[in-house]
Structure 1
């Protein structure tokens, strides 16, 4: 799965460990959940960090929800759950790996 390189041009807020936004580990970097989307630092600016394509998380028997114990992160029109270092989003009866 690849991520699109879409710069967030008017992002003056500097994310970091104490910025108040949820951190999500994403491969070799951290994303920050901010206003329903994810930001990552890149080459002196912030990118919208969104996956391209559709990747189902196979053999995922755990059902995410408000009491599942995983961090919920608002993402656009749905909620992702941070699980084992990646985000899961419910989709058509399975969970996608974001």
Structure 2
């Protein structure tokens, strides 16, 4: 799965970090920050939108996420992602996608 490189140009005044008040989501070799329903990542002196390109089914994900499943929830656009084992999972039809 690849990530689209799309600079978030309007994000010049706020600097994310451990005390910024936004949820931090470890993502591979960097940290995404949840802000206004989307995810930002620092990249070479600016902030990028951090959204996956394509559709990646999380194979073998038998756990069903819900409000009381114990995994952190992150509002993401028009749905909720669940943080589980270092991944963001989103319900998609009859399966879970790996973000």
Q: Give the TM-score band, short-chain normalised.
A: over 0.9
The whole-number CA distance in structure 2 between the counterparts of 1:31 and 1:17 is 11
1:23 aligns with 2:20: no
Aligned length: 98
Give the TM-score taking structure 1 as reference length: 0.98
The whole-number CA distance in structure 2 between the counterparts of 1:43 and 1:95 is 32
* Pairwise CA distance, 1:92: 1.1
Instruction: Calculate the aligned-residue CA RMSD, in Å.
Output: 0.6
1:6 aligns with 2:6: yes
Give 1:1-98 correspondences, 5 Å limit. 1-11=1-11, 12-98=13-99
Give the TM-score taking structure 2 as reference length: 0.97
Structure 1 spans left out of the alignment, 5+ residues? none
Tell me which stretches of 4 or more aligned residues in structure 1 moved more than 4 Å.
none
* Pairwise CA distance, 1:22: 0.7
The whole-number CA distance in structure 1 between the counterparts of 2:58 and 2:23 is 22
Structure 2 spans left out of the alignment, 5+ residues? none
